């Protein structure tokens, strides 16, 4: 691909096959408008003079619907147990040490490395659940959004879309009205969160948007949540909920209700809401979420890494609840691995194969059913009305490397199945975001520079933590 072909806005591309309307279609012409959105998607047509031919089958990019970017600095560094017990809560205490050590420059370096890796993993939009706001001592930066801009600049460095979600975080637990000392960087109230969201939106960066988030029911008082969501307007609202059994027990003790049950009882939930994890949900809670039109964000690799448990995926699917996936703690940074683990967890629990497939609905492919649900669910999580290879959506795509060894010789109709379940290493040859190629032939133009900055940040971080 020539240097001048990085920016395809105002041009057309042609793919031998593309995932359009929930299935593979042949000979697809994809036209990009001047804003970097699809103006038309035309299956079954020949390429025209001037069209750019793509070098393999084409998929839409997916949304990474839940991320803590700074935790990329901790990935792989919490896999030792020195005592008798290790669980989510002990992991969290160690993770706070990283959170207390980062300045805006270090956060930008870490998040830029993550952004490149997410592009390589097939994500083209990131939802950042952002609570690392203040100075290490808890005082405010001169610019209260200094850490937010570090994240936005990092995604700009890589060419990844970003939905920033400043987080309401005001207490350490249901019975603890203030934050712990090691949570001092996270402190916000409802007015601050709304102000941050509005300020981020006001800069009008092309690949940047914002919503809001609530850390969890244990971390925000009901009155504060009510103030945040009252007349909030459009845009996503994310919340951690029912990730840990101890959290569920604490909520029952404090309120008399389970976390999702309590949320549903407040009549707040609608299509803007995304329930992150929702691992420990009862059938009646899932039914109530389905009635509300809210979505659920599952993070299979992180939930496995932290020992959270397994969701009732068959019921979430059967009730039609919007589903998306997230990289969360960054132990995995590609969506094929998340989809694979999503179904494998169910197979291990239920001792059946292809749990997520639905032949009775004409959806016999596990990979295809999960991909389509996550594609659509990710759009809502990021605040997009349209997402995928359809007119009006942002012009994002993934070109599959058909020469990746696990895909060699695979029949065309099984490409997505093999991509998810044959564990390919680097299946995406080219990645486009908003009509511009962020990755070409598997490489990012700034990959080496970004990696060097990341290494320097990691060296400084872990040198200081060792003292």
Query: Cα separation of 286 and 24, whole Å?
Result: 31
pLDDT at position 88, please? Answer: 73
pLDDT in tens, 385-435: 999 999 999 999 999 999 999 999 999 999 999 999 997 778 999 999 999
Q: Return mean pLDDT, the chain.
A: 94
CA of residue 420 relative to chain centroid, distance: 17
Can you give the pLDDT at residue 464? 64
Cα–Cα distance, 373 to 1 (Å, whole number): 32
Query: Which of 64, 312, 328, 343 does the annotation list as catalytic?
Result: 328
From the candidates 238, 277, 280, 444, which is the catalytic residue? 277
Cα separation, 419 vs 40, in Å, equals 27
At 358-383, the pLDDT tens digits run 999 999 999 999 999 999 999 999 99
SS3 173: strand
**Residue 457, C-beta contacts closer than 8 angstroms, at least 6 positions apart:** 73, 105, 106, 109, 110
What pLDDT score was predicted for residue 4?
Answer: 43
Kindly tell me the burial class for residue 464, based on how many C-beta atoms sit within 10 Å of its own C-beta (0-12, 13-18, 19 or more): exposed
Strand partners, 431: 398, 439
What DSSP designation does 391 have?
T
Q: Which residues contact 409 (CB under 8 A, 6 or more apart)?
A: none
User: Residue 448: enclosing H or E segment and its boundaries?
Assistant: helix 447-466
State how beta strands 397-400 and 428-433 pair: antiparallel
Residue of 267, 168, 181, 256 lying closest to 216 (CA atoms):
168
Q: Is the pLDDT of residue 3 over 50?
A: no
- Which residues have CB under 8 Å from 100's CB, separation 6+? 136, 182, 185
The token pair that represents 205 in the structure block: 């960066």
Considering the chain, what percentage of its residues have pLDDT values greater than 90? 90
CA distance 75 to 302: 10
Q: Please tell me the predicted confidence (pLDDT) of residue 203.
A: 97
pLDDT in tens, 316-362: 999 999 999 999 999 999 999 999 999 999 999 999 999 999 999 99
User: Under a CB-based contact definition with an 8 Å cutoff, are residues 30 and 11 in contact?
Assistant: no
Q: What is the mean pLDDT of residues 25-50?
A: 97
pLDDT higher at 1 or 282? 282
Question: pTM here?
Answer: 0.96
pLDDT digits (tens, 9 = 90+) for 286-307: 999 999 999 999 999 999 999 9
77-108 pLDDT tens trace = 878 787 777 777 677 778 888 888 899 999 99
Q: What is the predicted pLDDT for the residue at 394?
A: 98
Q: Respond yes or no: is residue 277 known to be catalytic.
A: yes
Percent of the chain with pLDDT over 70: 98
Three-state SS string over 85-147 comes to CCCHHHHHHHHHHHHCCCCHHHHHHHHHHHHHHHHHCCEEEEEEEECCCCCCCCCCCCCCCHH
What is the predicted pLDDT for the residue at 463? 85
Strands (E), 332-393: none
Which structural domains are found in the chain, ordered by start?
A: 3-60+393-447 (2.30.40.10), 62-382 (3.20.20.140)
| Cα(165)–Cα(20) distance, integer angstroms | 30
Task: Return the bridge partners of 162, or none.
Answer: 126, 208
- b/e 411-425 (16+ beta carbons within 10 angstroms → b): eeebbbbbbbbbebe
Give the pLDDT of residue 82: 76
- pLDDT tens-digit readout, 130-187: 999 999 999 999 999 999 999 999 999 999 999 999 999 999 999 999 999 989 999 9
Query: Is the C-alpha dihedral spanning 247, 251, 257, 263 positive or negative?
Result: negative
Residue 89 pLDDT: 67
């Amino acid at each position: 691909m020539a240097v001048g072909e990085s920016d395809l806005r105002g041009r057309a591309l042609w793919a031998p096959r593309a995932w359009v309307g929930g299935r593979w279609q042949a000979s697809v012409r994809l036209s990009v408008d001047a804003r970097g959105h699809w103006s038309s998607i035309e299956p079954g047509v020949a390429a025209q003079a001037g069209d750019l031919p793509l070098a393999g089958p084409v998929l839409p990019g997916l949304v990474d619907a839940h991320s803590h970017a700074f935790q990329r600095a901790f990935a792989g560094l919490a896999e030792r147990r020195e005592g008798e017990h290790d669980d989510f809560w002990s992991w969290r205490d160690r993770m706070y040490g990283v959170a207390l050590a980062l300045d805006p420059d270090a956060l930008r370096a870490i998040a830029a490395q993550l952004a490149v890796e997410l592009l390589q993993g097939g994500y083209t939009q990131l939802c950042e659940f952002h609570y690392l706001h203040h100075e290490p001592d808890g005082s405010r930066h001169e610019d209260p959004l200094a850490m937010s801009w570090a994240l936005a600049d990092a995604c700009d460095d890589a060419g990844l879309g970003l939905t920033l979600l400043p987080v309401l975080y005001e207490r350490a637990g249901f019975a603890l009205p203030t934050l712990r000392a090691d949570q001092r960087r996270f402190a916000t109230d409802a007015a601050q969160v709304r102000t941050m969201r509005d300020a981020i939106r006001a800069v009008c960066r092309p690949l940047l948007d914002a919503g809001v988030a609530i850390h969890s029911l244990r971390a925000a008082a009901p009155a504060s949540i009510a103030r945040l969501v009252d007349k909030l307007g459009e845009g996503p609202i994310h919340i951690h909920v029912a990730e840990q059994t101890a959290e569920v027990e604490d909520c029952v003790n404090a309120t008399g209700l389970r976390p999702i049950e309590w949320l549903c009882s407040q009549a707040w939930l609608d299509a803007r809401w995304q329930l992150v994890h929702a691992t420990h949900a009862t059938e009646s809670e899932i039914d109530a979420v389905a009635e509300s039109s809210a979505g659920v964000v599952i993070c299979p690799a992180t939930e496995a890494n932290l020992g959270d448990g397994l969701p009732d995926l068959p019921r979430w699917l059967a009730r039609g609840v919007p589903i998306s996936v997230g990289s969360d703690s960054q132990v995995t940074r590609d969506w094929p691995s998340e989809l694979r683990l999503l179904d494998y967890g169910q197979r291990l629990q239920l001792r059946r194969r292809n749990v997520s497939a639905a032949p009775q609905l004409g959806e016999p492919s596990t990979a295809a059913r999960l991909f389509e649900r996550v594609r659509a669910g990710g759009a809502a999580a990021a605040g997009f009305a349209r997402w995928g290879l359809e007119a009006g959506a942002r012009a994002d795509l993934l070109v599959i490397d058909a020469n990746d060894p696990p895909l060699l010789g695979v029949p065309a109709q099984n490409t997505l199945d093999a991509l998810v379940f044959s564990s390919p290493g680097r299946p995406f040859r080219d990645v486009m975001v908003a009509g511009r190629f962020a990755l070409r032939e598997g490489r990012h133009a700034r990959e080496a520079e970004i990696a060097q900055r990341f290494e320097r940040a990691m060296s400084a971080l872990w040198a200081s933590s060792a003292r």
